[in-house]
Structure 1
Amino acid sequence: MLNFTANLSLLFTEDTLIERFKAAKQAGFNAVEIQFPYDLCATDIKNKLDEYGLKLVLFNIAAADLLQGGEGLACVPEKRDQFRQAVAQAVEYAKLLKPEAVNVLPGRCLDKTRLEQYLQTFKENLGYAAEAFSPLGIKTVFEAVNTHDMPGFIIHSGAQMLDVLDQLNRPGLFMQYDIYHMQMMGEKPETFIDEHADKIGHIQFADCPGRGQPGTGRIDFGRVFSAIEDSGYSGWVGAEYKPVGTTAESLDWLTA
């Protein structure tokens, strides 16, 4: 049986972020994840987790302007100091919230002539993050994002993620595999997960196209969820989709 988390950055947006913990618990979730928790203080998050008996599984290191169309932090050579400050911030949150994993978003390169430099910077920064979280017993993960939604994203395939893992070869470093993003790139998520489950630290999903809940696109989630179970993957599976309708109306897949 799969263990699902609710991504509170995309689900239950009918409520304020601090109210979404209660909504997730009432909907049947025992764990949550947040893209960027830093608008709330860590103590307030911890209090809500304790109040509703929830586990915070995952959050991201801050990524500056990435979601607004910028390059982010993790791959930009001129932003190394900012990235290290973001790691330090995430470490302080992680010490209190004790997530299973912290995610590093690789970011964009908008000047193709500098791509190799950006890739090298990202790998160095990813290694730095892994060193910071390893003593806490927390996995460091990184993800590939499709270049339709985020043009210029420097890591956009399963093969690239495997290559980065191979080059860095660090314990505690894993892939975050997003089914929606990789389906958008033409990959077969169930095949990849079956072959590389031991290298995946977290899985997220949304239907494709549209990034809505299961049943709004073309993905056969019965097959995908079965493939994850059969693969031997034992981590969490994050619902990171944009609900079509209300969040409550989007949750039929959870009880199917």
Structure 2
Amino acid sequence: MSHTLGYTVNCSLLFTELPVNERPRAAREAGFDAVEFWWPFETATPPQADIDAFVAAIENAGVRLTGLNFFAGQLPGPDRGVLSHPDRIAEFRANTELVAQIAERTGATGFNALYGRTQDWADPAEQHRTALENTVAAAEAVARVGGTVLIEPISGADDYPLKTAADGLAFVEEARKAGADNVAFLADFFHLAVNGDDVARVVRDHAAEFGHIQIADAPGRGEPGTGDLPLDALLADSQANGYSGPVGLEYKPTVPSAESFGWIR
């Protein structure tokens, strides 16, 4: 890879053969100094002891936690986020306080808020309003730690309303107009490619606006080199066009995780 961006290992898709709290050390032993996670607990508001154990696992491994998802319901699975779910507002708001607490203790600054699937019983306009209000609340919660709420288009769920870069960027713009300055677009090159975006054009036009980048090859979502996405060029172009943050390795390894990094060297 010809860029000089740093990597952060998504330990919700990598090292899954290990218990959650052993994955940060595995990432460290594989040569990385940064990790990110989806919400690593079963519920939006786990016991304090579970949070303490997770934070200790990060600290004891000697890695930085760069990113964390807000509670997203069952992921992967039927929810794909609860940001827009009208019946789960209290649950999401309670979760934002715990995310901010983890951020204060770890220094994490990027927080992915997954929009969620369209609920067939709910008014889409109400869902959208719920998503915006929850985004503003989440942004307020993490602002005190210098955090940014990330908005990500995803693939694999037809009823997930944010599919393309244009969808995600438009929602970010709405959230900013609603008063949340610290909201940004999460560019997952795999999801964008699978959903038909011209990823090279998205990078050229919007890299300076990216709050975070995540990568997996496409098709297949394996490590770089297992598909046909020009990830090296896309990352070099992202850097040339103004992105300077870390790159999340959010792929499903086709070999044991510790053996899946040969493409870096």
Q: Establish whether TM, by shorter chain, passes 0.5.
A: yes
3-state SS of the aligned residue for 1:141? strand
Residues 55 and 102, structure 2, Cα contact 8 Å, conserved in 1: no
**Letter of the 2:27 counterpart:** A
Residues 207 and 241, structure 2, Cα contact 8 Å, conserved in 1: yes
Residues 207 and 215, structure 1, Cα contact 8 Å, conserved in 2: yes
Q: Which residue of 2 aligns with 1:225?
A: 235
Residues 103 and 109, structure 2, Cα contact 8 Å, conserved in 1: no
Post-superposition Cα deviations, 1:147-177, rounded to whole Å, max 9, x if no partner, equal xx12211211111122122222232111111
**Letter of the 2:67 counterpart:** L
Q: CA RMSD in A?
A: 1.9
Residues 76 and 118, structure 1, Cα contact 8 Å, conserved in 2: yes
Q: Which residue of 2 aligns with 1:103?
A: 112
Post-superposition Cα deviations, 1:58-85, rounded to whole Å, max 9, x if no partner, equal 0111112353213642101122112212
Bigger CA drift: 165-174 or 153-162?
165-174
- State how far apart, in whole Å, the 2-side matches of 1:124 and 1:54 are: 33
**Correspondent of 2:130 among 121, 135, 146:** 121
Equivalent runs, 1:128-139 vs 2, <5 Å: 128-139=137-148
Question: How far is the alpha carbon of 1:126 from its aligned partner?
Answer: 0.8
**Correspondent of 2:24 among 14, 18, 21:** 21
Q: Which residue of 1 aligns with 2:45?
A: none
- State how far apart, in whole Å, the 2-side matches of 1:234 and 1:16 are: 31
- State how far apart, in whole Å, the 2-side matches of 1:188 and 1:31 are: 29
- In structure 2, list runs of 5 or more residues that go unmatched: 43-48
Question: How far is the alpha carbon of 1:189 from its aligned partner?
Answer: 2.0
- State how far apart, in whole Å, the 2-side matches of 1:87 and 1:228 are: 30
**Correspondent of 2:39 among 25, 36, 39:** 36
- Mapped pair 1:57 → 2:62: no
Bigger CA drift: 91-100 or 20-29?
91-100
Seen in structure 2, the aligned counterparts of structure 1 residues 76 and 46 have a Cα distance that, compared at 3 Å, is: closer
Q: Which residue of 2 aligns with 1:166?
A: 173
**Correspondent of 1:192 among 191, 202, 219:** 202
Aligned length: 253
Q: Which residue of 1 aligns with 2:84?
A: 75
Seen in structure 2, the aligned counterparts of structure 1 residues 56 and 12 have a Cα distance that, compared at 3 Å, is: same
Post-superposition Cα deviations, 1:187-232, rounded to whole Å, max 9, x if no partner, equal 1223212321232111101111111111111112221222122122
Residues 66 and 107, structure 1, Cα contact 8 Å, conserved in 2: no
**Correspondent of 2:94 among 67, 72, 85:** 85
Residues 139 and 201, structure 1, Cα contact 8 Å, conserved in 2: yes
- Mapped pair 1:5 → 2:8: yes
Residues 80 and 114, structure 2, Cα contact 8 Å, conserved in 1: no
Bigger CA drift: 112-121 or 174-183?
112-121
3-state SS of the aligned residue for 1:183? helix
**Letter of the 2:169 counterpart:** L
Please give the TM-score of this superposition, normalised by the length of structure 1.
0.92
Stretches of 4+ moved more than 6 A in 1? Answer: none
Question: How far is the alpha carbon of 1:240 from its aligned partner?
Answer: 0.3
- State how far apart, in whole Å, the 2-side matches of 1:235 and 1:70 are: 28
Seen in structure 2, the aligned counterparts of structure 1 residues 62 and 179 have a Cα distance that, compared at 3 Å, is: same
Q: Which residue of 2 aligns with 1:234?
A: 244
**Letter of the 1:187 counterpart:** D
- State how far apart, in whole Å, the 2-side matches of 1:107 and 1:213 are: 26
Bigger CA drift: 10-19 or 110-119?
110-119
Identical positions, percent: 31
